[in-house]
Amino acid sequence: MNGRIETYPRLDVFSESSEILLDGNRLIFSSEEKVVYLVNKPIGYLSAMSDDRGRKTLSDLVSDRIKERVFHVGRLDQDSCGLILMTNDGDLSNLVSHPASEIEKTYVVGIKGKLTDRDLEAVKGGLTLGDGFKTSPAKIRLVRSDGDFSKYAITIHEGHKREIREIFRVLNKSVSSLVRVSIGPLSISLVPSPGDIKRLSRKEIALLENGAHRKAPKKAQRKNNFGS
């Protein structure tokens, strides 16, 4: 390395400023451009990159359409659909996922029946789920009601496991459909059909980051140094 034989196996190396030869051949290092994709996950796909039971995963959905090696940020249940972020940027993933960032996610939820005014106030004030988790106050409104079927838009900023379904379970309502329609400023209109994928522009990424920077702790903040 840089003209000398290096025998220490844990030496930190900066490939940009070092000449490294192995058996006389110079090693070339390439850094992968950091990217963020917005994906409209269809029903039936796991929020995972592999599955030992042979079920369809996000990897199956994007393998021939995204050339970078990406991972998903957060998750959606197999029987839920809508927006999910995929990236190769760990800093951005941590920022978006960090509870203190309080990035709002909106879901459209279909249920049988209709919520009462008391139910709506309970969601808006925060309620205790079956596992003891106390939700933060949420936004909720009726989208439409057709006979014995209703749809509600509910906005939360937490990522508790199956939180939306568990909220409705506490209200004795079974969820028949669940679609994540926004993540922060990013709307499902960017990828309107199940299976659609969009690589986010620098401006779109900045909007997402700036929404988190206002509330995230300093250790979770990052500079906007994306190359996309």
* 35's tokens: 């990217």
* DSSP string covering 8-22: -TT----TTT---EE
Q: Retrieve residue 163's tokens.
A: 């939180």
Phi, psi for 181 (deg, rounded to 5): -105, -10
pLDDT of residue 225: 37
pLDDT of residue 15: 64
For residue 145, the SS3 value is strand
- State the pairing for strand pair 175-183/81-87: parallel
Q: Write down all domains in the chain, each with its CATH number in brackets.
A: 33-101+185-228 (3.30.70.580), 104-183 (3.30.70.1560)
23 in active site: no
Ordered mean pLDDT values, 10 residues apiece, the chain (228 residues): 84 72 82 91 96 96 94 94 95 87 95 96 97 96 94 93 95 97 97 98 93 54 36
User: Which tokens in the block code for residue 170?
Assistant: 């506490």
User: Where does 25-158 show beta strands of DSSP type E?
Assistant: 25-26, 36-41, 71-73, 81-87, 105-112, 139-146, 149-156
- At residue 114, the pLDDT reads 95
Asked whether the CA dihedral 157, 162, 168, 170 is positive or negative, the reply is: negative
The pLDDT value recorded for residue 84 is 98
In this structure, which amino acid lies at residue 88? N
pLDDT value of residue 140: 98
Q: How far apart are CA 87 and CA 79, in angstroms?
A: 22
- Among the listed residues 77, 119, 146, 196, the single catalytic one is 77
In the block, residue with structure tokens 């999910």: 84
